[in-house]
């Protein structure tokens, strides 16, 4: 499915065809998020109906949902394209995610009792030990992404904010696509582990400002690579 010689290496396609329209939608969405359907790639109802062995109407329904989520763009007389990554929009989402997680940290420091915080820290410590086992993963499709998500979830769940995060789920899918690009682009798993450790250590030290600063540094992922990324993969990104 790759279009050019400069493509990053992403996960393999599913071997089994889905049975329901919901599963088809989920699979196409995942292919967009994992960049196996690349930003700017032309796709069609005919192509997808042949791939999945279903009618065009089923694919049309999936495309409608994908368009609503902002993962495809449909141009009359031109065709359907996987949406480009918009670094300005991603920056806004990262700011939103950072604000939420800084608030979670504030609540950890102001609302959790000592025993509850110790229990949370122990879970984070065990998670970090597991992360170390996967520091050599070069992309974001192995075991590490689950541990990365779990690291943040442990903190979010400790102050009962999982429902709030679920409200942002559809928006955060775009961050997932960016993270898949970002991690593979610079083989960043070791750096992410180091950043997680800094967040953990700041919480353990009882320094709320330091913990929030480390979280902000961890989640702001655009500045360091934007110019290089858009130069190497110009067809992936919106201009301006």
Residue 240 has pLDDT above 70, yes or no: no
Cβ neighbours of residue 113 closer than 8 Å, sequence gap 6 or more: none
160 phi and psi angles, rounded to 5 deg: 55, 50
Residue 218 has pLDDT above 80, yes or no: yes
Contacts of range 166-175, beta carbons closer than 8 Å, 24 or more positions apart: 168/96, 168/97, 168/100, 170/69, 171/93, 171/96, 172/93, 172/97, 173/29, 173/33, 173/69, 173/71, 174/70, 174/85, 174/89, 174/90, 174/93, 175/90, 175/93, 175/94, 175/97
The alpha-carbon radius of gyration of the chain (Å, integer) is 20
Cβ neighbours of residue 46 closer than 8 Å, sequence gap 6 or more: 56
Show the tokens assigned to 28.
């196409």
Give, in order, the Cα–Cα distances in Å from 77 to each of 19, 27, 63: 31, 26, 16
Q: How far apart are CA 147 and CA 193, in angstroms?
A: 10
Let me know if 158 is exposed, middle or buried by CB neighbors in 10 A (0-12, 13-18, 19+).
buried
Per the prediction, the chain carries an average pLDDT of 92
Residue 75 has pLDDT above 80, yes or no: yes
Give, in order, the Cα–Cα distances in Å from 35 to each of 171, 175, 192: 17, 12, 20
pLDDT for 141-184, tens place per residue?
A: 899 999 999 999 999 999 999 998 899 999 999 999 999 999 99
Q: How far apart are CA 127 and CA 125, in angstroms?
A: 5
pLDDT for 199-209, tens place per residue?
A: 999 999 999 99
pLDDT band at 3 (very low <50, low <70, confident <90, very high): very low
Name residue 79's beta-bridge partners. 75
pLDDT at 8: 64
């Amino acid at each position: 499915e790759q279009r050019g010689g400069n493509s990053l290496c992403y996960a393999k396609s599913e071997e089994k065809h889905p049975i329901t329209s919901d599963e088809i939608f989920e699979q196409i969405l995942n292919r967009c998020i994992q960049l196996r359907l690349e930003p700017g790639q032309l796709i069609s109802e005919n192509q997808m109906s042949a791939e999945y062995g279903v009618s065009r109407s089923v694919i049309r329904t999936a495309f409608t949902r994908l368009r609503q989520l902002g993962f495809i763009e449909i141009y009359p007389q031109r065709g359907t394209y996987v949406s480009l990554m918009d670094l300005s929009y991603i920056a806004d989402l990262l700011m939103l995610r950072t604000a939420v997680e800084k608030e979670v940290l504030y609540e950890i420091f102001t609302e959790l009792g000592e025993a509850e915080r110790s229990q949370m820290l122990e879970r984070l410590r065990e998670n970090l030990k597991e992360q170390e086992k996967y520091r050599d993963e070069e992309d974001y499709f192995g075991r590490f992404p689950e541990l990365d998500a779990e690291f943040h979830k442990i903190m979010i769940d400790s102050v009962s904010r999982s429902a709030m995060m679920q409200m942002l789920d559809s928006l955060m899918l775009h961050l997932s696509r960016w993270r898949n690009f970002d991690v593979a682009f610079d083989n960043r798993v070791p750096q992410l582990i180091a950043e997680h450790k800094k967040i953990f250590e700041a919480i353990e030290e009882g320094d709320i400002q330091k913990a929030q600063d480390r979280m902000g540094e961890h989640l702001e992922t655009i500045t360091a690579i934007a110019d290089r990324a858009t130069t190497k993969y110009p067809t992936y990104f919106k201009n301006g």
